[in-house]
Structure 1
Amino acid sequence: MMKTMNTRLISTLSAFALCAGAMHANAQVQIAPIFKDNMVLQQQTDAPIWGRALPGHTISVTVSWQENAIETKVSKDSTWRLVIPTPVASYDPQQITVSADGRSRTFSNVLIGEVWLCSGQSNMEMPMKGYSSQPILGGQDAIVHSKNDFLRCFTVGKAMTLQEQESCTGRWESASPNTTAEFTATGYYFARLLQEVLDVPVGIIHSSAGGSAIEAWIPREAFTREFPKIAIPNDISREKKKVLVPTVLYNAMIHPIAGYAIRGAIWYQGEANVGRYQEYPRMFAAMHDTWTKRWGGKRFPIYLCQIAPFRFSDQAGNAFLREAQMKIAQTQPDTGIAILMDTGEQNCIHPANKQVAGERLAYIALARNYGFPNLPYRAPEFRRAEYADGKATLIFDHTGSGFTSFGQPLTGFELAGADRVFHPATAAIVNGKIVVESSQVPDPVAVRYAFKGYIRGSLYGSNGLPVSSFRSDNWDDVR
């Protein structure tokens, strides 16, 4: 029967045809592909479920946690959508049955808990098994001990298109030594800590693509409005790096799942935008705003990993992109940032320590979304510098109980005078502030910390979280 279906029906998932045997096309009901056995639904919300069917037909959904069915009529454009009120999180498996025209499809082993979207480029895509010759630190041990039916992952199959798609590939899998090797490492460590602290099921939806630019994750309507001077090609078949083409990853890897109830998203991307750091905050805002609209209008947080230090060909480009990401976290609502100044590797763009990345993102979620406001989740953030007697005294926000370098010398500081030439400087922690000086700069007017492509951060908050690279100047021509 599948060979005789019209092209449109073939292009989207047909749960009924797959599971209820052969049917005529006029009885066809399609359900969005993210709805499958073993899924995790966001707790205590109105969770949408949607699909396609013949106009005017009645779709009925029954769930095991309530008696009454939920019904809706298929619209004239053949789409249907309804919402399922979800209960408080539970480890008890549930069922969801979708019925139409006397036929039904039941999804089993459904859990109610917390759901997060994980997206970005290769550092989010990097699996627990690592890449070739690039292992995950502690990955093998974590995989072996990962058996946990209450931590589940749906990985969206990689695809790129110029048109918004309704279908994608993927399935929900529970963490186990047989499956966890393929899970996103950053997402896994994020989910594992949430599940441990919250003691509820946690599901992650993983949709990322190595080498991708943020432009590729922005819907067309927002991209053409906000960035009209950047052309979107009519054909990507000849594009050498398709993952850089605007909109193509949103179309194929986000649009099919947009609307599935989530608590928020985590984002690890930026390396592909190092050369275009000036536009990064605007692009992130456009992505965040339009994702929110596509999810129904209720704004959700996106917490991002600041890219780690790495030896790019442009030695300062990385630092400018890190600065742009800090600007996002400091100025855009419903954002937060995990600083990775202590995990970068000089000659590998994929840091091995993904546990730090995932867990620092989890700190933000726990503090901001789950009622742990006293949990330290942000390092001190540079505010301004004051200059006197040949020294720069640095003032920070969110200093908490102060600074530390864990007994090591503070390194990575530089001072410049009016000539805009930076020289290495010494730094010390004095009364909760950082004091910087250099014999080569008797009258400093600007200070920088760790503002390089690759550098190892040395300054931490007393909560153990690293301070981001920063600068007091705005001299973009200085490298």
Structure 2
Amino acid sequence: MMKKRYLLSLCMAVLLAVELQAKVVLPALLCDNMVVQQNSVVCLWGKSDASVLTVKPSWTEKEYRTDVSGNGSFQLWIETPSAGGPFEIEFNDGEKTTVRNVMAGEVWICAGQSNMDMPMSGYPGQPVNGALEAVVEAKEYPVHVFMVNRKLSKQTEEQCEGKWEAPSAESVMHSSATAYFFAKNLQKSLQVPVGIIVSAWGGTSILSWMSEKSVNTLPSDVTKACVERDSREQNLPGRLFNAMIHPLKNYTAKGFIWYQGEHNLQEHLTYDVMMKTMVDEWRNSWNDKKNEMPFYFVQIAPYRYFNNSMEIQRPLIVEAQKRALELIPNSGMATTTDIGEEFCIHPAKKPVVGLRLAACALAGTYHVKGLCTSDIKIEEIKPLDNKMILKFNSDFRSVYPARMKGFEIAGKDRKFYPAEAVFKNGTIEVRSDSVAHPEAVRYAFRNYVEADMKNVMGVAASSFRTDNWNE
């Protein structure tokens, strides 16, 4: 009797071991509440000890079958439906594993430093406008959030940590405010579910968000100085790319949004090339050979950088960000000239940032007509008596108010004085009693200055200058 019991227990243990051995192991990104990119062909991957795996999405009668490689990994591609859900995806390698509450919609990768990382709940003493309303209304909008857990790595990682969260007050409270407001505005306009994968870490350098290999293509004196200035591990080349971007590469997404640059104020001469290098690598990681994945980014906010509102580090980095638009195909920029806070580097007006990012995406990616998101460009500069007459690109359409804050004017002595700026007959006339013969005009060209020039849709103009004087 004892021998029979022993044999029975042994058989059960063996069967249990086989059963456990065959169970599919999925990455954190493939879990309940996930959003798959609609009308696409998306990648599913994981591990199994079986030799063959089948996958059955509930939105189709089709069953997908794939072999498992010798190292126990599998990867396959499945077609996704138009926006909708909830769906299920069943994985079967002898034992079934089901991912539930799957939505089909639009998926975006959202990355950057603290202004992207800042949660809806804000930071101590630093609130987010509209947070209470967003939390209360959370379940009204099918926005699903995956917050990538912070991690550093010297080598590329294949897995990240985190989980997809369905819409709830709690999930919205802890999500990135910038990313959530972007997603919420997309959802309201497109009327489809939206999934955001947020990978952000405050106070980090752009060098950490690309691989060491990519960093080594940049001027060595620039990268060396950047690292020496702040050599914390999260700012070393590749550390965040390896652990928080590379593991996302298999997850099919529509595009990227980016909010970073404060840490790299001193790299204003090369930040545009840094951005292009990073975007090129990200697109290659997603196998985007045609630069089809859009890249939309936010200007750094006005603030008294280096404890000095009157210095010009911020407008110089904005110039680099504007140059990046010319280097990076299929890109766009959300302006922040009017929403900064002099004594807080994390402005509360995240709903405006999210709205402007969404407008960039709606116009550039989803082809919503009638949106005017382009930045202002000077077409003609003409001195007239004691004034400077500025004519701008027609696609900026118009500006308001009639009298604008934030302008300065200078003569041959290169000393800038606050100026009166009046919108008149499609041009802006700029003058100051302190400058009899003006030679240069600047707008919002300080770390922090009140400025209110906008187009007719309320999109702020970037800081600009008509001179190229060395500083």
Q: 2:27 aligns with which of 32, 35, 39?
A: 32
Aligned position for 1:251:
242
Q: 1:146 aligns with which of 138, 141, 147?
A: 138
Aligned position for 1:219:
211
Q: Distance in 2 between matches of 1:159 and 1:362?
A: 28
1:73-222 correspondence to structure 2 within 5 Å: 73-75=67-69, 79-90=73-84, 92-100=85-93, 102-148=94-140, 150-222=142-214
The residue identity in structure 1 corresponding to 2:97 is R
The residue identity in structure 1 corresponding to 2:86 is P
The residue identity in structure 2 corresponding to 1:402 is S
Q: Distance in 1 between matches of 2:219 and 2:41?
A: 34
Deviation, structure 1 residue 26: 6.3
Aligned position for 2:467:
473
Deviation, structure 1 residue 472: 1.7
- The verdict on how the C-alpha distance between 1:231 and 1:399 changes in structure 2, with shifts beyond 3 A counting, is closer
Q: Distance in 2 between matches of 1:402 and 1:191?
A: 28
1:273-312 correspondence to structure 2 within 5 Å: 273-298=264-289, 299=291, 300-312=293-305
Deviation, structure 1 residue 227: 4.2
Q: 1:423 aligns with which of 394, 414, 417?
A: 417
* Deviation digits for residues 370-413 of structure 1 (CA, Å, limit 9, x no counterpart): 231212223433345233434222222244441102x6x42221
> Quick check: 396-405 or 121-130, which moved more?
396-405
Q: Distance in 1 between matches of 2:96 and 2:205?
A: 41
Aligned position for 1:374:
370
Aligned position for 1:324:
320
> Quick check: 125-134 or 430-439, which moved more?
430-439
Q: Distance in 2 between matches of 1:51 and 1:227?
A: 39
Number of equivalent positions = 450
Q: Which 5+ residue runs of structure 1 have no aligned equivalent?
A: 1-20
Aligned position for 1:60:
54
- The verdict on how the C-alpha distance between 1:476 and 1:69 changes in structure 2, with shifts beyond 3 A counting, is farther
- The verdict on how the C-alpha distance between 1:308 and 1:439 changes in structure 2, with shifts beyond 3 A counting, is same
Q: 1:446 aligns with which of 440, 448, 451?
A: 440
- The verdict on how the C-alpha distance between 1:447 and 1:231 changes in structure 2, with shifts beyond 3 A counting, is closer
Deviation, structure 1 residue 77: 5.9
Deviation, structure 1 residue 24: 8.2
* Deviation digits for residues 181-227 of structure 1 (CA, Å, limit 9, x no counterpart): 10111111111111111111111111100111111111232222334
The residue identity in structure 1 corresponding to 2:176 is T
Aligned position for 1:241:
232
> Is the partner of 1:68 in helix, strand or coil?
coil
Q: CA RMSD in A?
A: 2.6
Deviation, structure 1 residue 305: 1.0
Of structures 1 and 2, the larger Rg is shown by 2
* Deviation digits for residues 306-342 of structure 1 (CA, Å, limit 9, x no counterpart): 1110001162111111221122234431111111111
- The verdict on how the C-alpha distance between 1:122 and 1:398 changes in structure 2, with shifts beyond 3 A counting, is farther
Cα pair 2:337 2:461 within 8 Å, conserved? yes
Aligned position for 1:455:
449
More helix by share: 2
Aligned position for 1:387:
383
- The verdict on how the C-alpha distance between 1:70 and 1:202 changes in structure 2, with shifts beyond 3 A counting, is same
Aligned position for 2:3:
none
Q: Distance in 1 between matches of 2:340 and 2:52?
A: 55
Q: Distance in 1 between matches of 2:169 and 2:108?
A: 22
The residue identity in structure 2 corresponding to 1:431 is N
Q: 2:253 aligns with which of 246, 249, 262?
A: 262
Cα pair 1:148 1:176 within 8 Å, conserved? no
Cα pair 1:378 1:398 within 8 Å, conserved? no
Deviation, structure 1 residue 164: 0.8
> Quick check: 57-66 or 263-272, which moved more?
57-66
Q: Does 1:271 align with 2:262?
A: yes
Q: Distance in 2 between matches of 1:411 and 1:149?
A: 37
Deviation, structure 1 residue 424: 2.2
Deviation, structure 1 residue 110: 0.4
The residue identity in structure 2 corresponding to 1:332 is I
Deviation, structure 1 residue 347: 0.3
* Deviation digits for residues 35-91 of structure 1 (CA, Å, limit 9, x no counterpart): 11110000011111223456x93332221122232233344565432111111111x
Q: Does 1:51 align with 2:42?
A: no
Deviation, structure 1 residue 232: 8.3
Identity %: 38
The residue identity in structure 2 corresponding to 1:191 is A
> Quick check: 29-38 or 425-434, which moved more?
29-38
Deviation, structure 1 residue 230: 6.0
Deviation, structure 1 residue 108: 0.8
* Deviation digits for residues 136-155 of structure 1 (CA, Å, limit 9, x no counterpart): 11212321222246211000
Q: Distance in 1 between matches of 2:133 and 2:369?
A: 32
Deviation, structure 1 residue 242: 2.4
